[in-house]
Chains A and B, each alone.
Chain A
Amino acid sequence: MNIQHLNIQAKMAITLFLGFVIVATVSSVILLGLALTGEKSGLKIPTVGQISKKYGTSMLVGSMHGSMKEFVSALEDIEVVEQWVSEGAKQEHPLYKDVETIIRYDCRNCHSRTSTMTRAIRSMPFETYEDIVLYTEAGYSWKQMSKQAHIHMYGIASFLIFVTLLFAYTTYKEWVRSALIVLSFSAGFIDIFSWWFIKEIPALAYAIYGFGSVMVGSILLMSALILLDMWKLPRPLKE
C-alpha cells in the first residue's frame, strides 16, 4: 500500500489539505518575520539578533524591537528602556522617568484599562510602575512558556502527524522517509524548548533560527514530495 494507489477523490482531499498546510506554513513564516523585524509587509527574514531579542530579552523590550516597533517614536528610546530593564527595572532608577515618558507617549493610548482606541489592549495596561514591571523579566516566564509551549506543540503536532503519516506511505527510500519524519518533529521540539532556555544560554538563538528553519523546511519539503509522488505520471512500460 502506498499513496499512489489511493483513488482520485482521496488524492484530491490530500492535495487540498497539503495546500492548506503549505499556505499556513508560509503565512506563519511571514507573520513571524514581520513580528520579529517590526516591518509591516513582505517576507522579512529576521536576524539572529532579532530572534535573540524576541526570546532572550524582556517582553517589553522584545516587543519594542519587534511587533510594537511601528509605535515607537524614536528608535533610541528602545535603548533607554533596554538599559533600564537590564539594570534591574527599579522605580527608583534615574532612567525610570524617561521610560515612563516613553511609555506614556508611545504605548499608553492603547495599553490602558480604559483605552478606546481601535487596537486597544486593555488586558495589558502600562499605567503604573507595577503594570510595567510585569513585562520586564528576561525571556519567557514559566507561566508564559508553559502557555506558549502547549499551544504551539499541540497545534503543530495535530497537523504534522497527518503530513508525516502521508509521507510515510510515499514510495521514497525508507531512510529518506524516516529522516524527514524524525527531523520535522525533533526540530520543532528543539526550537520550542530553546525559547525557554535562551535567557540562560544566548547562543540558543542560533538553535531557534536553525531548527525553526529545519522544521518549516521539512514540512514544506514533505508536502511537496507527497504531492509529487501522489500525482506523478506512470513510468513508461519497458520493452
Chain B
Amino acid sequence: MKKISCVLASALLAGSALYGGTGLTLESAKVKGVASLDAGDAAWASAKPIQIVVDQLPYQSEKYTGIKNTTVKMQSVYDSEYVYFKIEYADPTKSLERYPWEKQPDGTWKQLKNPDQFGKENTYYEDRVAMYWDISARGFERRGCAVACHMAENGKINGVDAGKTAGRKFTRAEGQLIDMWHSKGVRTDSVGQVDDQFVNHVADPSVNRNWGRNGDERTGGGYKDNINKEKTAPMYISSKAQPDLFWIHDADKAPFVDTFKAGDRIPAMVVSPFEGSRGDISINSTWENGVWTYVMKRALVTKHPKSAEQDVQFSDLGKAYPFAVAVFDNSQINHVYHEGSISLTFK
C-alpha cells in the first residue's frame, strides 16, 4: 500500500509541476528611515523577492542573438517619500556600445549598424530594462504590457501603413494611459536616470512619429546623437579619455578633432540628465559576473503639471498596482517579457 501511495504522490507532483507559476505579487516593504540606490543597502534584507520568468519575444529577428528567456528577480522597499525597486537578471553579455563611430581604413567615419529584416538593431545597441505601470489602460491587469503591443500585418497596424517596423505601442482608446519606465544603459543610466515615458492611444504616425509612445514633459537636459551637420562624422569627442566609455557626458564634450587611426571608435551619444518629469526616476545599474543589477527610485507621488496622465501615482498604499517587466538584450525593440501583470502592494 505504501508503494502505491508513493506512485500516486509522484504522479500528482509530476502533473502539477507541468503547470506552475502565476499571479505574482511584489510586496514593497516599509523601511525605517531612508533607503538608498545602493544594491547592498541593508534595507533589501527586509524585502521579499519574487522571480519573474520572462520568456516571450514579440518577433523573431533574423539577427537577434540575445536572451530568449531569463528570470528577473525583483524586490521593493519604500520610505515616507520614495519607492525603490531592485531588479536582477542574468545576461551573459554587457552591451553598451550603441551605434559607435568607427574610423575606416580610407579615413572616413562610419556608424556601425547591423539592422535586421525590420531595420532594427540587435548588434550595436544597449542593454535595457523596462517597467510598465497601468494608469488607466483597459485590460492591463489581465494582460500586462501586451495590451499595448500591436504587431504589423503586411506592413499595416490598425489599418495604418506602419512602414518596415515589427510593431508599435499604443492603448485602445483616448484616456487610456500607461506609465513606462525605460532604463536605457547608454542614454539614461549613464546619468543615473530612467527615461520616464508614457503610452497613450495615438495610433497614427502623422500625429506622433512614435505612435503611442511619448516622453514625459522635460524642461531641459536629455540625450542627443553625436553627429556633425553633414552626418558624416562625430561632432564631439570626450575631453576625458576612458577606455570603457560608450557615451560622452555633455559637460565633458570637446570639439571633434580627427587624430584617430583606422579602427578607433567614438561614442555616438552625448548625454546629460533630463530635467522635469522625464527625469524623475533615479537609477543605479551595475553588471557583474553576467548579472545586471538595477536599483530604481521614484517619489511615491510625483508633482509635475501633467503627473496625473504621465505617471502612475502610488497615492493609496492600500491598493494594488499592476505592472509588467521586460528585458532588452542588446536590441532596439526586441525584448523578452512575461504574459499577464504583476501586482505591487505596500505592506
Contact = CB atoms under 8 A, between A and B. Distances in A.
Interface of A: 15, 18-19, 22-23, 25-27, 29-31, 34, 39-43, 70-74, 101, 104-106, 108-109, 112-119, 127, 224, 227-228, 231
A71 B340 CA distance: 8
B70 to A, nearest CB: 14
Given A23-B14, A26-B11, A118 B57 contact: yes
B241 interface: no
Interface residues of B, number: 41
Contacts of B1: 228
Contact of B18 (A30, A112, A118): A30
B3 interface: yes
A42 B146 CA distance: 24
Contact of B7 (A104, A106, A108, A227): A227
B339 interface: yes
Contacts of A40: 19, 21-23, 340
A19 B142 contact: no
| Nearest 10 pairs of A and B residues by beta carbon | A73-B139, A116-B59, A26-B15, A40-B22, A22-B11, A23-B11, A27-B15, A118-B56, A41-B19, A109-B151
B158 A116 contact: no
Interface string B72-112: 00000000000000000000000000000000000000000
B143 A71 contact: yes
B58 A73 contact: no
Contacts of A19: 7, 10-11
A216 to B, nearest CB: 12
Contacts of A72: 139, 142-143
Contact of B22 (A29, A41, A73, A119): A41
B8 interface: yes
B147 interface: yes
Nearest to A25: B11
A27 B13 CA distance: 10
Interface string B21-40: 11100000000000000000
A160 B47 CA distance: 51
A70 B142 contact: yes
Contact of A73 (B60, B138, B154): B138
Interface in B94-136: none
Contacts of A15: 7
B207 interface: no
B4 interface: yes
Nearest to A119: B56
Nearest to A72: B142
A108 B153 contact: yes
Contacts of B16: 30, 42-43
Contacts of B58: 109, 116-118
16 contacts: A19-B11, A23-B15, A25-B11, A27-B15, A40-B23, A41-B19, A71-B143, A74-B142, A105-B150, A106-B139, A109-B146, A117-B59, A118-B58, A224-B4, A227-B7, A231-B4
A41 B146 contact: no
Contacts of B318: none
B172 interface: yes
B308 interface: no
A71 B4 CA distance: 40
Nearest to A33: B19
A65 to B, nearest CB: 14
B149 interface: yes
Nearest to A15: B7
B12 interface: yes
B10 A23 contact: yes
Given A109-B151, A117-B58, A119-B56, A41 B8 contact: no
B20 interface: yes
B7 A73 contact: no
Given A26-B12, A73-B143, A73-B147, A127 B153 contact: yes
B109 to A, nearest CB: 34
Contacts of B172: 73, 101, 105
A229 B147 CA distance: 55
A63 B284 CA distance: 44
Contacts of A115: 151
Contacts of A26: 11-12, 14-15
Contacts of A25: 11
Interface string B149-165: 11111100010000000
